[in-house]
Amino acid sequence: MIFSNLAEKLQDTFDKLRGKGKLNEKDVKAALKEVKMALLEADVNYKVVKKFINKIEERAVGKEVMESLTPGQHVIKIVNEEMQELMGGSKEEIAISSEPPTIIMMAGLQGSGKTTSAGKLARKFAKDGKKPLLVAGDVYRPAAIRQLQVLGERLEIPVFSMGDDSDPVDIARGSINYAASHNCDLIILDTAGRLHIDQEMMAELEEVKAAVEPDEILLVVDAMTGQDAVNVAKNFDQRLDINGVILTKMDGDARGGAALSIKAITGKPIKFAGTGEKLADLEEFHPDRMASRILGMGDVLSLIEKAEKSIDKEKAAALEEKLRKNEFTLEDFMEQMDQVRNMGPMDELLGMIPGIGEAKQLKNLQVDDKQLDHIEAIISSMTPGERRDPEVINGSRRKRIALGSGTSIQDVNRLLKQFKQTKKMMKQLNSGKMKKGGFKLPF
């Protein structure tokens, strides 16, 4: 999970603080020492950590905190505010030009996720009502052009290419005419990276920048490379004066050092976070929500946004009606499960719920997406009739379903039992007999 190592350590420290009624200077200093260690272990830049801790100490050892009724909470509030500030304060928007086309130039090293992020951005803008054009300007990495074309086909977004032996500047210039003749109002320009910072690459990017004067230069860096990502950002910014960063592979980054250092070191904000390989796995970077997630306060706003984006409202209304009439079937159940899964991996979703990070009994909870695969396989192995009326599923049918889904009869029995219980509960709920706190999801 994003930031999981850092989050766990900080939450342990804060648990100790909360447990104390009164705080003295020594308590706060001891806690801040732990915060400092946790940040350093998370690979946050040393200078950034030092400044961050000093700022918090200045605010936290005052009379106001020590004498407050909940000093522990007060310190946590200060850490939250400072962490938010460290990542840029508030969310930074993409500059959309008043005279189309808006040109977004992507830059970054090979393998950072530049081409994938170009596709993700195009998808996002198309969903927001824009008409994007993807431009295959990565003439250096073999297969980058084809990769972009495949993404474009999948997204039904046009891709402009001039092959891999054209000059990147000509490609960039050519894309503007192409956009005009194809009614595209936003150009996303993929560019050539290299394995390491390289003078030739920088010179090429500078030429492209000068030729098309992009509205936005977004640098793509890999979160898993920690402080290297920060150095890369610093170097690119010195040459290109970037507008912001897309931090990719945050799904695999349990430490969080790059996310917490980039703004402080380069002065440039992280605008988007890549959270997976799928095209939908791109989040706007909200420093306030990120800070909450790290400190275990949850991120309900992002969760709601994810739900709104992935849950079909009409289907939800139809489901509500079925629940009310107690006509909920295993087919509906599977559809519902699919919609929830569209929102992302379960452990990431759970991390957004306030308190989950703090609840000791849930700390080591591994929500196994495989379990959901099993449930899906079992329901898929049923006939439509069985899904609508599981009562007909006798012993031999159970055997067939287990065999067909690659599970065991016990797995099938468990699912059927849980489904039956859920239906019973729904019935009680509908007739108003539901006792407080008695509802449980069937998985």
Q: Which residues are annotated as a binding site?
A: 108-115, 190-194, 248-251
Binding of residue 137 to ligand GDP (CB under 6 A): no
* Contact call for residues 397 and 391 (beta carbons, < 8 A): no
Give whichever of 179 and 232 is closer to ligand GDP, judged by the CB atom.
Answer: 232
The interface region with ligand GDP, picked from 174-182, 269-277, 294-302, 357-365 by CB under 6 A, is: 269-277
Residues 174-213 that bind ligand GDP (CB under 6 A): 193
Q: Does residue 101 have a cis peptide bond before it, meaning omega lies within 30 degrees of 0?
A: yes
Which residue in 200, 277, 320, 368 binds ligand GDP (CB under 6 A)? 277
Distance set, CA 427 to CA 326, 433, 436 (Å): 6, 9, 15
Q: Which strand (E) or helix (H) includes residue 67?
A: none
* Cβ-Cβ contacts under 8 Å for 441 (sequence gap 6 or more): 422
* Known binding positions for GTP: 108-115, 190-194, 248-251
Binding of residue 158 to ligand GDP (CB under 6 A): no
**Mind spelling out the 3-state secondary structure of 101-149?**
CEEEEEEECCCCCHHHHHHHHHHHHHHCCCCEEEEEECCCCCCHHHHHH
Binding of residue 255 to ligand GDP (CB under 6 A): no
Give whichever of 74 and 141 is closer to ligand GDP, judged by the CB atom.
Answer: 141
* Residue pointed to by tokens 């000791």: 360
Residue type, 48: V
Which residue in 252, 267, 355, 406 binds ligand GDP (CB under 6 A)? 252
Burial track 388-402 (b if 16+ CB lie within 10 A, e otherwise)? eebeebeeebbebbb
The interface region with ligand GDP, picked from 194-202, 246-254, 392-400, 409-417 by CB under 6 A, is: 246-254
Distance spanning both ends of the chain, measured CA to CA:
21
Rounded CA gap, 272 and 124, in Å? Answer: 11
Residues 322-381 that bind ligand GDP (CB under 6 A): none
Residues 138-157 that bind ligand GDP (CB under 6 A): 141, 144
* Cβ-Cβ contacts under 8 Å for 334 (sequence gap 6 or more): 375, 376, 379, 380, 387
* Contact call for residues 189 and 212 (beta carbons, < 8 A): yes
DSSP 96: -
Which residue in 62, 100, 111, 345 binds ligand GDP (CB under 6 A)? 111
| Least distance from ligand GDP to the Cβ atom of residue 326, Å | 42
Binding of residue 108 to ligand GDP (CB under 6 A): yes
Helix, strand, coil percentages in the chain from 3-state DSSP, rounded to 5: 60, 10, 30
Chain-centre distance of CA 156, in angstroms?
Answer: 23
The interface region with ligand GDP, picked from 15-23, 194-202, 268-276, 398-406 by CB under 6 A, is: 268-276
Which residue in 110, 310, 336, 339 binds ligand GDP (CB under 6 A)? 110
Picking from 106, 47, 112, 138, the residue whose alpha carbon sits closest to that of residue 244 is 106
The interface region with ligand GDP, picked from 60-68, 114-122, 264-272, 392-400 by CB under 6 A, is: 114-122
Which residue in 36, 124, 209, 249 binds ligand GDP (CB under 6 A)? 249
Binding of residue 116 to ligand GDP (CB under 6 A): yes
| Least distance from ligand GDP to the Cβ atom of residue 110, Å | 4
Which residue in 11, 112, 161, 407 binds ligand GDP (CB under 6 A)? 112
* Contact call for residues 84 and 288 (beta carbons, < 8 A): yes
* Contact call for residues 104 and 188 (beta carbons, < 8 A): yes
Give whichever of 43 and 386 is closer to ligand GDP, judged by the CB atom.
Answer: 43
| Least distance from ligand GDP to the Cβ atom of residue 279, Å | 10
Residue nearest to ligand GDP (CB): 274
| Least distance from ligand GDP to the Cβ atom of residue 194, Å | 10
Binding mask 212-241 for ligand GDP (x = CB under 6 A): ------------------------------
**β-strands 270-274, 282-284 pairing:** antiparallel
Query: What does the binding site for ligand GDP look like in residue numbers (CB under 6 A)?
Result: 108, 110-116, 141, 144, 193, 248-249, 251-252, 274-277, 281
